[in-house]
Amino acid sequence: MIKTSRTGRGNNIAFIPVRGGSKSIPLKNIKKIRGRPLVYWSVKAACECKYIDKVYVATDSEKIKNVVEKFKSGPCTNSFCKIEVIGRSVESASDTASTEYAMLEFAETHNFENIVLIQATSPLLSNIDLDRGFECFLEAGTDSVLSVVRQKRFHWMIDKQGYAHPTNYDVFKRPRRQEFDGYMVENGAFYISSKAALLKSRNRVSGNIKAVEMNEDTFFEIDEPGDWIMIEALMRKNGISALRDIPVIKMFLTDCDGCLTDGGMYYSENGDEMKKFNTRDGMGFALLKNTGIITGIITSENVKLNRKRAEKMKLDILEAGCKDKLSAARILCEERGIALENVAYVGDDINDIALMKEVGFSCCPADAVEAVKDVADYVADACGGEGVIREIIENLMGIDFNRNI
């Protein structure tokens, strides 16, 4: 069996199959989780693995293809230069087709030596996990590797008479958790094998199989809506966020209504217009200004309330009554010698999209219109007027703004 390290292009490849026909969560592979499409996280891990030479994303969906292709032109472009998006046959993308069917279909038409199957439904996978997997795989005598997690649960089985029997411990010598080795469970994150072994066994693993233990949080995969909520919480716990992948930010701009406010229009009995702002956003801007980042509002509205709020927060810029936000932002950048790539912008409606597509990092509130969510680099957890700006800024403050591009 041929097993080499990285001695040439195309030796070790990653294969990530993503269907467009998910039933439980429609188009779940491109639904955003922690600010990025679900498939982004597994692609990122594969691209950053030092042993992987090329990353193939196989899909039957034109929409998924377009989303993945954009990874190569978005933030951290160099990290995604290994990607190639390829098609899948109708048969391999059907509800009844096995993953092995898709792998074998791919293997028959592509040249490679070793393959790692990566599941897009495991966004907690990291490049470090994959590095460890390949290091294990390249050991003499190893034919395949799979990822596992350790579970410390007591197993029981029910016999034909309905009686329960323990299978992995003695009920009269119940071990303490710290003294119990537990057992290993497949977490479905990745499987490594050679092409020769795949074609011979027609299975993702075969021969002498070794297991690489991953963090216990990676036990969960996204199959149902409830899984999504749980994994999103685990990603937050582990500090996994799209905000780690943005360019250097030198200017932070936001729309007003629907971002700084909840988008509602309130009137007193006398007909006076009122808006609801969130005080926490003001402190967020203050934190940004302390780092030297230029702050401002670009809004199509030209009302006194917006001006008063901008003055209260001591923002550097207020572009009011702006009908072409992209042109306004370009002028602001030219005046200050800043590239649009180094601008972050928060918008919530369709008149924000043109600008969001051009800046280095675009964000939106959780209740933004769907068209805006589709183009946003980061979809916040908070809604407009509920501290969404503070949320984004607090995440940004975890980044060194003075690092080199």
Per the annotation, the verdict on 6 as an active-site residue is: no
Q: Are 165 and 229 in contact (CB under 8 A)?
A: no
Catalytic residue among 6, 153, 174, 236: 174
In this structure, the dihedral spanned by the alpha carbons of residues 276, 281, 285 and 290, taken in order and rounded to 10 degrees, is 140
Active-site residues: which are they?
A: 174
